[in-house]
Amino acid sequence: MSLIMSNIHKSYATAEGAVEILRGVNLFVGESESVALTGESGSGKSTLLHLAGGLDHPDSGSVMMAGQALSGFSERERAKYRRTKVGLVFQQFNLIPSLNVVANMSFHARLADRYDPAWQQILTERLGLEPYLARYPEQLSGGQQQRVAIGRTLAARPPLILADEPTGNLDEATGDAVLDLMLSLARNAGSALLLVTHSSRLADRLDRKVVLRGGRIVE
Ligand code: ADP
Ligand code: MG
C-alpha cells in the first residue's frame, strides 16, 4: 500500500492574510518503504503529516493511499482510514492515562481489529516493557512512555506509520535507541514509515531522505 501526495497546496489564515505553507508538494512512499522527512522548523513538515494522516484537508492536490483518494472519503470512511491504515507517533505520547501499559499497547490494534497477542508479546520484549506492563503512564519515564506509544502503533501493524519527531523530547542517547528499535520493528511489521527527524545519522538509516523547502519537496 503506497502513499502518493500530488501537487498539494495548503495555506493558513493569519493576521496578515493567508500564508501558503505547502506550494505543490509531491511525495511518494512505497509499500514498506521508509522515508525521512527533514526541513527547517516551520517549513510545514507537521502540516504534511497531518494531511497524509487524514487529520486535515489540503486546499488542493490529492492524497492517495492504496489507490484511493482521501478527498473522496465520507467522514466515516476517513475515520476508518485513520483507525486502520495509518499509525501516528508524535512527540507527545498521547497515552491513555486511565489504562495500564498492556491496555495502552493493545488499544489501537483492537480498534483496527488486528490485535495479535503473539505480536504484542514480541513488541513488549523488544521494547523492554515487560517489567512495566501493570503500570500507568504517569508511573513511567518519558523514554518508557515513548516506547509504549511506539508499541501501541506497531501492535496494529498499520500499512503506514507517520512519525513526527517522535523522540524530540528525549535525550539524544535514549531517543536514538528508541528510534533504532522503531525502525527495525516497522520493518518486521511490514509498515511503510514517513519519519520527521532532525538527526541526519538517523535519516541515513532509512531507505530515502527528502527535504521540505520553500513549500516543496526537494530530494
Ligand atoms: P514544521 O513541522 O516543519 O515545523 P509546521 O507544519 O508545524 O512546520 O508549520 C508550518 C507553518 O505553518 C509555521 O509557520 C506554523 O506557524 C504555521 N501553522 C501551522 N499550523 C497552523 C495553524 N493551525 N494555523 C496557522 N498557522 C499554522
Ligand atoms: Mg513540526
Residue 165 lies in a domain: yes
C-beta separation of 28 from 3 below 8 A: yes
Check pocket membership of 37 for ligand 1, CB cut-off 6 A: no
pTM: 0.93
CATH number of the domain that residue 137 is part of: 3.40.50.300
Residue 21 lies in a domain: no
What mean pLDDT do residues 100-113 have?
96
Residue 159 lies in a domain: yes
Q: What angle do CA 98, 184, 89 make, to 5 degrees?
A: 35
Helices (H), the chain: 45-52, 75-84, 101-111, 117-126, 142-155, 172-189, 200-203
Distances (CA, A) of 143 to 63, 93, 128, 148, 172: 33, 10, 11, 9, 11
Q: How far apart are CA 151 and CA 137, in angstroms?
A: 13
Contacts of 13 (CB under 8 A, 6+ apart): none
Residue 117 lies in a domain: yes
Q: What is the pLDDT of residue 199?
A: 82
| Number of domains composing the chain | 1
Q: What is the pLDDT of residue 103?
A: 97
The Å distance, Cα 112 to ligand 1 centre, comes to: 30
Q: What is the pLDDT of residue 200?
A: 82
What mean pLDDT do residues 117-123 have?
95
Q: Is a pLDDT exceeding 90 seen at residue 140?
A: yes
| pLDDT tens-digit readout, 145-164 | 999 999 999 999 999 999 99
Helix and strand element counts for the chain (H, E): 7, 10
Q: What is the pLDDT of residue 66?
A: 87
Q: How far apart are CA 191 and CA 204, in angstroms?
A: 18
Q: What is the pLDDT of residue 181?
A: 86
Atom of ligand 1 nearest to the CA of 48: 6
Q: Is a pLDDT exceeding 80 seen at residue 166?
A: yes
What mean pLDDT do residues 166-181 have?
83
Map grid coordinates 504534511 to a residue. 48
What percentage of the chain has pLDDT greater than the value 70?
100
Give the three cell numbers for residue 104: 495502552
Give the three cell numbers for residue 109: 490494534
Residue 152 lies in a domain: yes
Q: What is the pLDDT of residue 23?
A: 98
Atom of ligand 1 nearest to the CA of 196: 2
Could you list the residue range(s) of the whole structural domain that residue 96 is in? 31-55+74-206
Ion ligand 2: residue ranges with CB closer than 5 A: 45-46
Q: How far apart are CA 213 and CA 207, in angstroms?
A: 20
What mean pLDDT do residues 125-147 have?
94
The Å distance, Cα 132 to ligand 1 centre, comes to: 36
Q: What is the pLDDT of residue 127?
A: 92
How is residue 38 annotated by DSSP? Answer: E
Q: What is the pLDDT of residue 168?
A: 81
Summary mean pLDDT of the chain: 93
Q: Is a pLDDT exceeding 90 seen at residue 219?
A: no
Residue 88 lies in a domain: yes
Residue 124 lies in a domain: yes
Q: Confidence class of residue 173 from pLDDT cuts 50, 70 and 90?
A: confident
Give the three cell numbers for residue 176: 536514538
Higher pLDDT, 203 or 64: 64
| pLDDT tens-digit readout, 9-20 | 999 999 999 999
Residue 97 lies in a domain: yes
Q: Is a pLDDT exceeding 90 seen at residue 99?
A: yes
Dihedral, CA of residue 46, residue 47, residue 51 and residue 57, to nearest 10: 150
